[in-house]
Amino acid sequence: IATLTRFYPINFEAGVNNLIDAAIATPIKPDDVVQSIKDVGDMMPSETRDITVDDLGMFIRKSGRTTEHTTGYIDAVNVTTLVKYGLGEKATFVDQIVIEQVLAEEDISAGGDSGSAVLDRDGRLIGLLFAGSDRDEAAGQPATAIVNPIKHVFNLLDLEVIKPDA
The predicted model gives 82-100 an average pLDDT of 94
Strand 90-101 relative to strand 17-18: parallel, antiparallel, unpaired?
Answer: parallel
How many angstroms from the chain centroid is the CA of residue 142? Answer: 18
DSSP 3-state percent helix, strand, coil across the chain (nearest 5): 10, 45, 45
Query: Helices (H) and strands (E) in the chain — how many of each?
Result: 1, 9
- Residue 47 confidence (pLDDT) above 50: yes
Is residue 105 pLDDT above 70, yes or no?
no
In the predicted model, is pLDDT for residue 133 greater than 70?
A: yes
pTM score over 0.95: no
* pLDDT given for residue 112 in this prediction: 82
